[in-house]
Amino acid sequence: GQQLNQSPQSMFIQEGEDVSMNCTSSSIFNTWLWYKQDPGEGPVLLIALYKAGELTSNGRLTAQFGITRKDSFLNISASIPSDVGIYFCAGQLKETSGSRLTFGEGTQLTVNP
Amino acid sequence: DGGITQSPKYLFRKEGQNVTLSCEQNLNHDAMYWYRQDPGQGLRLIYYSQIVNDFQKGDIAEGYSVSREKKESFPLTVTSAQKNPTAFYLCASRATAGNTIYFGEGSWLTVV
């Protein structure tokens, strides 16, 4: 079952506003990934984080790997209508064997023009 | 172009029938995955394979079967034993190095 808590579940914002979402876990993660999914499409990787404390940007997106290795956040600055979609966090648990990832439940983002 | 190709994009199945969803990747990735996504929900792992001729059950494997005869192919069969198969199915793959998973564009399965 899911071991990640992703919040908020949904967000309704105005174009131009900044957005922040996060994922937390009671377990330690080795990797944090952030994906965006458009309706009817597969998730697309936005940012990958591999080290505790790592802060990485991709255009208007910024994500951080928490220093406790149990959380991560994603910020979107100056939102635009095409930012609409579902954002998922995913991570690999330290104790997980093989190559399984654990996914959050997603944050549905709506941007009003 | 390199990537993960799923087919068909849309599939309708009658109750009691088995159907197979295709997933092919030309990324030379070792690991491949199948996820199920229900409307408004996250991704649930059905099966995964880390190497050719080997695969493991995920969290919701009942009613599904897979094979991994070739590195580039990982087909998923939705059997008649799957009681609620209508969903969006996503195939993914991962290189040996690194923990990043890349997804195909998904297949919609509807039971009619």
pLDDT digits (tens, 9 = 90+) for B3-48: 999 999 999 988 889 999 999 999 999 999 999 999 878 899 999 9
Residue B44's CB is within 10 A of a number of other CB atoms, namely 17
Nearest to B99 among A31, A35, A42 (CB): A31
Which residue of chain B has the CA closest to A42? B105
Instruction: For residues A60 and A5, give the distance between their C-alpha atoms in angstroms, rounded to a whole number.
Output: 24
Is any Cβ of chain B less than 8 angstroms from the Cβ of A66? no
- Please name the member of A30, A42, A104 whose beta carbon is closest to the beta carbon of B99: A30
| Token couple for A21 | 């979402």
- Whether residue A84 has pLDDT greater than 90: yes
Give chain B positions within 8 Å (CB) of A47. Answer: none
Whether pLDDT at A98 is above 70: no
Query: What pLDDT, on the 0 to 100 scale, is given for residue B53?
Result: 95
Report the pLDDT averaged over residues B79-93.
92
Chain B residue nearest residue A47, CA to CA: B100
Q: Cα separation of A28 and A112, whole Å?
A: 36
pLDDT of residue B83: 86
Picking from A57, A23, A66, the residue whose alpha carbon sits closest to that of residue B42 is A23
pLDDT score, position B2: 66
C-alpha atoms less than 13 angstroms from C-alpha of A113 in its C-beta half-sphere? 2
Contact across the interface for A42 and B48, Cβ inside 8 Å: no
Helix (H, G, I), strand (E, B), or coil: what is residue A60? coil
pLDDT score for B72: 96
Contacts of B88 in chain A (CB under 8 A): 40
Cis peptide before B8 (omega within 30 of 0): yes
- Mean pLDDT in residue range B83-107: 89
Mean pLDDT taken over chain A: 91
Q: What is the pLDDT of residue B16?
A: 87
| Nearest-neighbour CA in chain B from A70: distance (Å) | 17
Evaluate if residue A96 carries a pLDDT over 80: no
pLDDT reading at A97 higher than 70: no
- DSSP annotation of B105 reads -
Would you state the pLDDT for residue A32?
A: 93
| Better-scored residue on pLDDT, A96 or B46 | B46
Strand partners, A48: A33
Q: Is the pLDDT of residue A95 over 70?
A: no
Decide if A1 touches B, using CB distance below 8 A: yes
Q: Which of A101, A105, A108, A110 best probes binding to B when mutated, by most B CB atoms within 10 angstroms?
A: A101
Distance from C-alpha of A56 to C-alpha of B81, rounded to nearest angstrom: 44
Q: Give the rounded percent of residues in chain A with a pLDDT score beyond 70.
A: 92
Which whole number is the average pLDDT over B38-60?
91
CA atoms within 13 A on the CB side of B23: 33
**What CA–CA distance (Å, rounded) separates A10 from A6?**
10
Q: Which residue has the higher pLDDT, B39 or B72?
A: B72
A54-63, A92-101, B69-78: segment of lowest average pLDDT:
A92-101
Q: What is the pLDDT of residue A65?
A: 96
- A41 to chain B: nearest residue by CA? B105
